[in-house]
Amino acid sequence: MEILSMENVGFTYPDSNEEVLKSINFTIHKGDFIVLCGSSGSGKSTLLRLIKHDLAPHGDLQGDIYYKEKRLEDHSPIRRAKEIGMVFQDPENQIVMDTVMNELLFGLENMGYSTPEMNKKIAEMTQFFGLNGLLKKKTDELSGGEKQLVNLVSVLLLDPDIILLDEPTSQLDPIAAKEFIYTLERLNDEFGITVLIVEHRLEDLFTVAEYVMVMDEGRISYIDMPEEVVKKLINHPTLSRFLPSASRIFLNFSESNESKQIPITVKEAQGWLETQVIHPSKTMEKTRDVNKNILKLKEIDFQYVKRVPPVLHNLSLNVCKGEWHAILGANGTGKSTLLKIIAGLLKHQHGSIKYDGKKIKNNYHEIVSYLPQNPALYFVQDTLMKEYRMLARHFQIENANEKISQLLNQFQIYDLKDRHPHDLSGGQLQKAALIGTLLTQPAILLIDEPTKGLDPESKSRLAEVLRTLIKDGLTIVMVTHDVEFAASYSSRSSLLFQGQITTTEDTRKFFKENMYYTTTVNRITRKSNAPSVITIEEANEKWHVQKDY
Amino acid sequence: MVRGIQSFHPFVLLVYYVLIIIGLMLYQHPLFLLGALFLIGTFNYILDKGRELKKWGFMIGMMSTLIILLTPIFNRRGNQILFHLFDQPIMLEAVIQGIMIASTLVGILAIFVTFNIVLTPDKLLYLFSKVLPQWALLTMLSMRFVPLLIRKVKEMMNIQQVKGLAINQGSVHKRAKNGMQIMQMLLTNALEDSIQAADSMSARGYGLQKRSNYKAFKMKSKDWLTLGYLMGFAIILLFGWAKGDGVLQLEPVLETIMFSGSEYIYFITWLFLIGFPILTEGKEVIHWKYYQWKM
């Protein structure tokens, strides 16, 4: 049964000549699981909001949107609110109540349900999603994954027929993101709820989705089964980065992609790999010359409150000059706390920190800079330029204007210099904040979760920028969940576990020895007859695939 | 505790507290007040072994001592002079009055400590939402967003500190300027976040029709019964008070402190009214002891 369709939909924002959406046509059937992907600014979110009629942006809308064979605007607002549910990107800001129970009740009360009805619905849903333990909790005590689950459940309580999700997992750590996607799959399988999800993180979604819809510059370029989309996108200059690693590694090494089945999951890719004869090519493993330590942490203890177990205990870490050091670890292991201690924001109770062999007292900001998780909070002025000028004045930087222009040009955001920070996209904002942190010419840059909410393209651009900085002699300490990002770009990696750094190794070695906490490519190649690698780039270096014809 | 005093409907609990506070103010009699203080103390002990009360202990002690000392100095009405202080007569009536005012105050404060434990914010809000649903919703929203805002301020201040723009360093002028800038940016951020919150609210159909109100608490037969018990006792006591029993007469002639006639009845009624939580909790304790013994 047809549930949603668009006919020749076009959309223009007010005060703009450019159409954000151009002649969109598609039909969604009941029970479909559809992934909508495309680079930032391709109009995905606008499309989603047009379907959620009551949140539609202002502007000029052409064409018709049909829901259950009637125009969207002809349905009653109550019916639209009930049957078309929407979950947003930021888990925090869409929660409006202080306890989980009240949050779940919020929508039900809006719909005017009676108390026994509400009790029944909530009992049912909490059982199904295992929320029992959370009901009485305060919403700000929940983890990101739990918050997003509460958001999903509070929408599901209204009994929707279709759920729209706008990058729901972009702020979550990989494990929570995976769980969230499997929850969606379960909803779709067991209740036939139609799912339309916009997402950048497609590694898992491609295996779950029935159809993939690709948007490019306001148009829908493809709607097809995942396998077909993989074939079509593989030669696309930017969108090919969105594909799952299993497919990318396959397509990298096989010439004819017409006849064969393209692997999407790890298992399928492993199957393909078994049929291949791969010789290690003669590449020399680059041996890094050991640099001297720039940052040395010794036996650090830290606890927030007395009587509560310490967050960090007996932690030691050495960071070498000019390296890109990634610190990985699950949620709540104290990664951000560690960064704050290095930045001098928190004072450790025991142990010592030495920069270049010396202790520092108060002038932290001359040595370390800190790029926060949410770069929007970095700015206090209303344009980028004002912010940089203020910093220049404050620190009496010489030739400030030249330096600022040079950095703006280097990061390709010169045109945005007079914009308000909030008008920038995630990637641009990050670069803008990065310029601010670099103005004081720190020796060490601390970065907290730089890839949160970025699409693959912005990620690789950010990595390029950071790489050039490393070449210029900067040392980067990065805290991240993003295994793939750390594996591709960092030079050394550490694992933070139970308040300690348990291992510090060269990134490639680090990931090769891990079984679960590692990249998809490594999981594919770990026990194969090919030399095990952690990224496609490494495979390109090390593999020599013998042609079987 | 699932059963004891906290299991009663918030309305019943509210009625209990209102009655006790009125009672404490009306029954100005040393023995009535003493009995009340003893039972309220026991109530506190049963709830949390008096931990919360101890936190207030110093303040309560200071205040009652001050009142007991100061009332006789300023109040000179009465017939029986105890002694002279700086040529001022200190009256027995005034001393008794000081003690009674002090114990009324102690009683009210101590019962408020239990009020805070028993009537948790969600129960209060529930009562509140019955009268003013819109305001209750607003309160709930701010209970969510104020802590969020505070967390964000802290985060922003941290970030500015690493940037070297701390608001706890430098001259007053500089600090104020940095502080203002942070405030300004915080407001911009908050506005942006609130747009998302508003979206999420309207996505779930907020404002489309009259909202229903989730009744987290139901008046059970136990609650009605208790309400009747409380009201019955209250009426008896009010009747007694109107008759002049349970109030120590200070003027024109000081009454004897010992009870006379029907005052015994009102005293016992008063103790049963205040002691109602102790009875329910005690019942639970006996119930469990018996249960364990039988096992």
Does B159 contact A at CB distance below 8 Å?
Answer: yes
From the list A78, A115, A381, the residue facing B208 with the nearest CB is: A78
Q: Kindly state the average pLDDT of the residues A407-420.
A: 86
Supply φ then ψ for residue A18, to 5 degrees. -90, 135
Contacting residues of A for B181, CB less than 8 Å apart: 380-381
Are the CB atoms for A100 and A135 separated by under 8 Å?
yes
Closest by Cα among A330, A297, A329, A328 to A314: A297
Contacting residues of A for B2, CB less than 8 Å apart: none
CA distance A111 to chain B (A): 7
Whether B144 sits inside 8 A of A365 (CB atoms) is no
Whether A378 sits inside 8 A of B163 (CB atoms) is yes
From the list A81, A85, A139, the residue facing B208 with the nearest CB is: A81
Whether A140 sits inside 8 A of B213 (CB atoms) is no
Question: What is the ipTM metric for this complex?
Answer: 0.83
CA distance A261 to chain B (A): 41
- Residue B1, pLDDT > 50, answer no
Contacting residues of A for B148, CB less than 8 Å apart: 92, 140
Average pLDDT, chain A: 85
Whole-angstrom Cα distance, residue A444 to residue A450?
15
- Residue A233, pLDDT > 50, answer yes
- Residue A369, pLDDT > 90, answer no
Report the chain B residue with the minimal C-alpha distance to residue A109: B212
Contacting residues of B for A340, CB less than 8 Å apart: 158
Identify the pLDDT of residue A201.
Answer: 80
Identify the pLDDT of residue A325.
Answer: 92
What is this structure's pTM? 0.83
Residue A273 corresponds to which amino acid? L
- Residue A263, pLDDT > 90, answer no
Tens digits of residue pLDDT in A70-104: 898 899 989 999 999 999 988 888 999 888 998 99
Instruction: Report how far Cα A434 is from the mean position of its chain's Cα atoms.
Output: 18
Report the chain B residue with the minimal C-alpha distance to residue A378: B159
Contacting residues of A for B153, CB less than 8 Å apart: none
The pLDDT-based confidence of B83 (bands split at 50, 70, 90) is confident
Q: What percent of chain A has pLDDT over 70?
A: 96
- Residue A258, pLDDT > 60, answer no
Whether B164 sits inside 8 A of A394 (CB atoms) is yes
Whole-angstrom Cα distance, residue A414 to residue B291?
77
Q: Kindly state the average pLDDT of the residues A393-411.
A: 85
Buried b (16+ CB within 10 A) or exposed e, B202-223: bbbbbebeebbbbebbeeeeeb
**What's the CA angle centered on B170, arms B165 and B176, to 5 degrees?**
75
Q: Kindly state the average pLDDT of the residues A39-49.
A: 85
The pLDDT-based confidence of A29 (bands split at 50, 70, 90) is very high
Whether B201 sits inside 8 A of A106 (CB atoms) is yes
Does A108 contact B at CB distance below 8 Å?
Answer: yes
CA distances from A538 to A4, A253, A447, A522, A534 (A): 44, 13, 25, 10, 7
Whether B140 sits inside 8 A of A102 (CB atoms) is yes
Whether B159 sits inside 8 A of A372 (CB atoms) is yes
For an interface test with B, the pick among A45, A106, A345 (most B C-beta atoms closer than 10 Å) comes out as A106
Whether B163 sits inside 8 A of A112 (CB atoms) is no
Are the CB atoms for B178 and A391 separated by under 8 Å?
no
Whether B162 sits inside 8 A of A344 (CB atoms) is yes
Does A109 contact B at CB distance below 8 Å?
Answer: yes
The pLDDT-based confidence of B166 (bands split at 50, 70, 90) is low
Are the CB atoms for B115 and B44 separated by under 8 Å?
no
Identify the pLDDT of residue A259.
Answer: 56
Q: Kindly state the average pLDDT of the residues A349-358.
A: 84
- Residue A423, pLDDT > 60, answer yes
Tens digits of residue pLDDT in B220-251: 888 898 899 889 888 888 888 887 776 777 77
